[in-house]
Amino acid sequence: MIDTVGKPRYFLRTMPSSVEATELRPGLKLLIDGQPYTVIERQFVKPGKGAAFTRTKMKNLLTGRNIESNIRSGEKIELADIEENPMSYLYKEGSDFVFMDQKSYEQITILADLIGDDWKWLKDNMIVHVMFWNARAIGVALPNFVELRVVSSEPGVKGDTSGGAQKPATLETGATINVPLFINEGELLRIDTRSGEYCERVKG
């Protein structure tokens, strides 16, 4: 059962609208079969024969499952009426996560199932956009990149700056990612939250 604690008392509701297949873009929120989805990838395809279409990969914001769909050009898709409120991540409570609204200072708890793998990049006091659908929190929209410190890893290899061989490293959030051999404990890394991959070292 999907639920949240301490739901915000205000919502700016807008009338649902629709977009054509050619207007789809990553991050757009759609209503498919009565459930909200976000577009992950899109590719316009114009075959030698037949009508053009847009090949899409979308994520169900309620279940976290991905689907692929070909949408014909000219076809309209309803936009999901989703509000995104900026909130700061406070702490983990049991297996769930507590956030605070930046305007009202009201706190809400979001179930772990709705956060999914995004927990790997949640750092204390990080500002994220919590998504609400039908007045319920259904997940978070993270920044594309976050900076997290390495807390555990095998010693770095001096002079090895190649991008080939890698090793596991544990970050301050508890997530483990693969990093180049020259990365050491205590270093600050830039991570791509969309792929979960190491990007570069950050000074500081």
- Give the pLDDT of residue 15: 47
Average pLDDT over residues 174-180: 95
More confident residue, 37 or 65: 37
Q: Count Cα atoms within 13 angstroms, Cβ side, for 134.
A: 10
Residue reference for tokens 């956009």: 129
Average pLDDT over residues 110-131: 92
What is the pLDDT of the chain when averaged over all its residues? 86
CA dihedral in degrees (179, 174, 5, 13; nearest 10)?
Answer: -10
User: Per-residue pLDDT for 2 more than 60?
Assistant: no
Which class for 159: exposed (0-12), middle (13-18), buried (19 or more C-beta within 10 A)? exposed
- Give the pLDDT of residue 22: 86
User: Per-residue pLDDT for 1 more than 80?
Assistant: no
- Give the pLDDT of residue 97: 95
User: Per-residue pLDDT for 161 more than 60?
Assistant: no
Q: What is the pLDDT confidence band of residue 21, given thresholds at 50, 70 and 90?
A: confident
- Give the pLDDT of residue 175: 95
Q: What is the pLDDT of residues 23-39, one digit of tens each?
A: 899 889 999 999 999 99
User: Per-residue pLDDT for 12 more than 70?
Assistant: no
- Give the pLDDT of residue 99: 97
- Give the pLDDT of residue 203: 85
Structural domains in the chain plus CATH codes: 18-78 (2.30.30.30), 82-141 (2.40.50.140), 145-202 (2.40.50.140)
Average pLDDT over residues 96-101: 95
Average pLDDT over residues 130-145: 91
Taking the C-alpha atoms of residue 31 and residue 8, their distance in angstroms, rounded to an integer, is 22
- Give the pLDDT of residue 204: 65
